[in-house]
Structure 1
Amino acid sequence: MKQGYIYIMTNKKNGTLYVGVTSNLVQRIYQHKNHLVDGFTKRYSLDQFVYYEQYDDIVTAIEREKQLKAGSRKKKIALIEATNPNWQDLYSAIV
């Protein structure tokens, strides 16, 4: 079974947040950063990759994505700041 990832994109520290799920993290973040796919992240220029979690299978990642999307903004910010307090773009760490 494919690995899965959940991730959070933003446009600036404490800015608009987007939670997504993918089986190919590098490719998907590249698409967001380069505005290659129409949608929420392109519309709001969300090109900073600030948080992710890795799972052994995509089904578990999808369940986690739903959990995060249903949660509060405050909880999402707490997740980001627990591992990335300066809201650094993490893309160079995964390529």
Structure 2
Amino acid sequence: MATTKKYYFYVLLCADNTLYGGYSTDVTKRVATHNAGKGAKYTKPRTRRPVKLIFHAEFTTKTAALQAEWRFKHQPREDKLEFLQQQGVFVEF
């Protein structure tokens, strides 16, 4: 029986109240990597950690997950917060 690979777009709330969007096939492992300071250049500084997973969406293709990440990253913060609110995520600072 073949298993279907899953791809995820996720959003982190960083310790400095910034938002980070990313892509992964294992969100739990990826968040731990970010918190270890090894995830991405953006989350590497201690001022951005710890990070907290506030949203994730599952996709059946890598392309779809990467497109969701790209759309999120290329919009103003206000639009990112509106997107999260539409998804039922209310970010408190």
TM-score (norm 2): 0.75
1:9 aligns with 2:35: no
Residue type of the alignment partner of 1:35: G
Decide which structure has the larger Cα Rg and report it.
2
Identical-pair percentage: 19
How far has the Cα of 1:24 moved from its partner?
1.4
* Residue segments in structure 2 that go unaligned for 5+ positions in a row: none
Give secondary structure in 1 for the equivalent of 2:44: helix
Whole-Å Cα distance in 2 between the matches of residues 12 and 78 of structure 1? 20
User: CA RMSD for the aligned pairs?
Assistant: 2.2
How far has the Cα of 1:12 moved from its partner?
4.7
Q: How many residue pairs are counted as aligned between the two chains?
A: 86
Which of 84, 89, 93 pairs up with 1:84? 89
Higher RCO (C-alpha 8 Å, min separation 6)? 1
Q: Map Cα deviations across residues 37-57 of structure 1 (whole Å, 9 max, x no partner).
A: 351112122511111111111
* Residue segments in structure 1 that go unaligned for 5+ positions in a row: 88-95
Give secondary structure in 2 for the equivalent of 1:29: helix
Instruction: Select the structure that is richer in helix.
Output: 1
